[in-house]
Structure 1
Amino acid sequence: MSDSRTSYLPTLKRSNRPELRMALVARELARYKVDIAGFSETRFSEQGQLEMVGAGYTFFWSGRPKAERRATGVAFAIRNDIVGRLPCLP
């Protein structure tokens, strides 16, 4: 288990494309062989998930509605082989 902020990747702050940001984070998670990572203070709206097939992770997030300020969300990245074994996930 480790605690890390995503702001250490300078490219993340310059991109408005969440898919690119998630791909960069997934690449770093794979590099360090992280199974499950939690992120706080994300700016994703609503709830959702995105599977990054090539990187091997699925991201799950929950945040404020689009109409509200989005600074208090959370997200998790879980390795796809682990996600496949969790019966409680969609």
Structure 2
Amino acid sequence: MSYTFRRLLNHLPIALGMRSDKRLRTTRVKHAQFASFLGESGFRSFNVDRYERGLRRRRVAKGLFLWASAFAAAWIVLESARAVMLF
């Protein structure tokens, strides 16, 4: 069975003895007791600001790369057209 077909079957809302609405029940908000426990214990997984800065830098670098490659492709097309016009 192909991967895409299996994936489609896993996400269809068919009652096969188990519920397939796992994605509907997920939420970003944690339970209040769990959140208070994390706050009291001083738990910090990682610095979110640093992570978001890294994501922002990657997005900017990707945009710059795409613009530079588009500019380079346009430059090659223009120079090729000029060369063809000369000959």
TM-score band, normalised by the shorter chain? Answer: under 0.3
Give the structure with the higher percent helix. Answer: 2
Please give the TM-score of this superposition, normalised by the length of structure 1.
0.21
Q: Which has the larger radius of gyration?
A: 2
Relative to its length, the structure with more strand (as a share) is 1
